[in-house]
Chains A and B, each alone.
Chain A
Amino acid sequence: TQTVSQSDAHVTVFEGDSVELRCNYSYGGSIYLSWYIQHHGRGLQFLLKYYSGNPVVQGVNGFEAEFSKSDSSFHLRKASVHWSDSAVYFCAVRANSGTYQRFGTGTKLQVVP
C-alpha cells in the first residue's frame, strides 16, 4: 500500500523560530517527493522537490527539506519563520511507475507575531 503521512495536523510557532514539518511515506521502488504550500483560499504552490542526488534540497523563501531513505521521510524545515509563512503545507509523493502525485493530509502552520 502506498501512503504518505503528515503526522502533525497543526503546528504553532513564534515568528523567528525554526520549524520542521514532518512527512513520512510508504512506497516501494523509486519515488519523487515534493512540498507545496497553500495559503488560505488559494491553490497549491510548489516549494521544492527531491528526485536524486544531494538529499538536502533548497526551495523558495528559505525552505529546505531532507530526504532520508532509511527513515522514509522528507521533512521540511525553515530556520526562521515569518508571519507570512502561515499556511497549509502539503507533502506529495509520486512513484516512478505512477502517473500522479499523492498528497498527505497537510499541516497547518500558524506563525504568531
Chain B
Amino acid sequence: GPKVLQIPSHQIIDMGQMVTLNCDPVSNHLYFYWYKQILGQQMEFLVNFYNGKVMEKSKLFKDQFSVERPDGSYFTLKIQPTALEDSAVYFCASSLSGWGAETLYFGSGTRLTVL
C-alpha cells in the first residue's frame, strides 16, 4: 500500500538544540499532519498543512515548532529550541483529500530523545 517515510527513525539531541524531523508523504497526497505520541500510547494532534499553509494547530504546537514543505521535498517539523518535554515519538501522516472520512497514512515515526 501507500507508504509514508520518516527520517530519521531515532534522534538524540541536547536540550536547547534545533532538530528537524523529515517526512516523505505519499506522492499524490495533498494534506499533511504531525502527531505526537506520548508514553507509547496517547496520540496527540499537533498540526496539519495544506497548500503551503498551516490549517490548524493544537496547543501542543508551541511557538518553537514550525512546519514547511518546500516544493517537491520533505514535509518537515522543526523544533527550535528543544525542551525536555519534547521527548516523544512523532508521527507524520498524509491524506489524499481533506474530506472528513479520508484515510490517514502514517509513517513509522521518529523517536526524539531530548537530554
Decide yes or no: A102 and B103 within 8 Å by CB, A43-B91, A43-B108, A43-B109 being known contacts: no
A-chain residues with CB within 8 Å of residue B40 when the two chains form the complex: 88
A-chain residues with CB within 8 Å of residue B33 when the two chains form the complex: 100
Q: Is the CB of A46 within 8 A of B104?
A: yes
Question: Interface majority SS on B: helix, strand, loop or mixed?
Answer: strand
| Number of CB contacts from chain A to chain B under 8 A | 63
Decide yes or no: A32 and B101 within 8 Å by CB, A41-B108, A42-B108, A43-B107 being known contacts: yes
Say if the beta carbon of A14 comes within 8 Å of chain B.
no
B-chain residues with CB within 8 Å of residue A45 when the two chains form the complex: 106
> How extensive is the interface on chain B, given as a class?
20 to 34
> How extensive is the interface on chain A, given as a class?
20 to 34
Say if the beta carbon of B105 comes within 8 Å of chain A.
yes
Encoded as 1 (CB less than 8 Å from any A CB) or 0, chain B from 93 to 106 comes to 10000101101111
Say if the beta carbon of A54 comes within 8 Å of chain B.
no
Say if the beta carbon of B28 comes within 8 Å of chain A.
no
Say if the beta carbon of B4 comes within 8 Å of chain A.
yes
